[in-house]
Amino acid sequence: MKFESSKYSKLLEYKKIEFPFGNFYITKQFVISELNEGIHVDHIIAGEIVAHFSEHIKRNIKIGYIANRINPYSIEPQLWREFSNEYDFLVASAVVSYSDFGYLNSSLEKHFFKNSLKRCRSLNEAIEWTMDLDELKNIIQF
C-alpha cells in the first residue's frame, strides 16, 4: 500500500519530496521512502538523499525511517553499516516487504544496521511501530 493511499496520509501532516528514483514522505517523527521499481540503491543515490536532508542532519534531528517497498529494487546492504557509522540521526528503521523474497532480503540487511531494524508485512505495522518508539514520542522534528 502506498503511503498516500493509507489512513495515515490523512491523519499525519507530511511533506512529499520527489526524486527521479522515488518519493519520500516526511512527517514529524519519521521519513517514508517509496522507491521506483528496478532501481539499485548505491552510493550515488544514497548521497543524493543525504545531500537533500543535510540541513536536518546538521541540526542533530532524530527520526525514524520506513522503507515502504511497494516496488522491487535492490540495495547495497553495506550501505546500512556505512550510513549508521557516519550518521546518527536515525533512531530506528522499519522495512515493509510485500513478498517472502523481500522479507528475506530485509533479514539480510538487518545484520548491517547497528540500530533497530524491524521487518514488517504492512505499512500500518511499520508506522505504528515507529510512532510507538520511546525515542520519537512527543518530538517535533522537521
With respect to residue 141, please indicate whether it lies within any of the assigned structural domains. Answer: no
Q: What is the pTM of this model?
A: 0.89
Q: Is 107 helix (H, G, I), strand (E, B) or coil?
A: helix
With respect to residue 142, please indicate whether it lies within any of the assigned structural domains. Answer: no
With respect to residue 13, please indicate whether it lies within any of the assigned structural domains. Answer: yes
Q: Which neighbouring-strand residues pair with 94?
A: 66, 118
- Is the distance from CB of 72 to CB of 96 less than 8 angstroms? no
With respect to residue 73, please indicate whether it lies within any of the assigned structural domains. Answer: yes
pLDDT digits (tens, 9 = 90+) for 9-65: 999 999 999 999 999 999 988 999 999 999 999 989 998 998 888 776 667 778 899
The CATH number of the domain where 40 resides is what? 3.30.750
Domain extent, residue 24, equals 3-136
With respect to residue 31, please indicate whether it lies within any of the assigned structural domains. Answer: yes
With respect to residue 130, please indicate whether it lies within any of the assigned structural domains. Answer: yes
With respect to residue 91, please indicate whether it lies within any of the assigned structural domains. Answer: yes
Nearest Cα neighbor of 41 from 87, 120, 109, 116 is: 109
- How many CA atoms does the CB half-sphere of 96 hold within 13 Å? 23
User: Alpha-carbon torsion 81, 87, 93, 97, what sign?
Assistant: negative
Total structural domains within the chain: 1
> What is the Cα–Cα distance from 83 to 89, expressed in whole angstroms?
10
With respect to residue 99, please indicate whether it lies within any of the assigned structural domains. Answer: yes
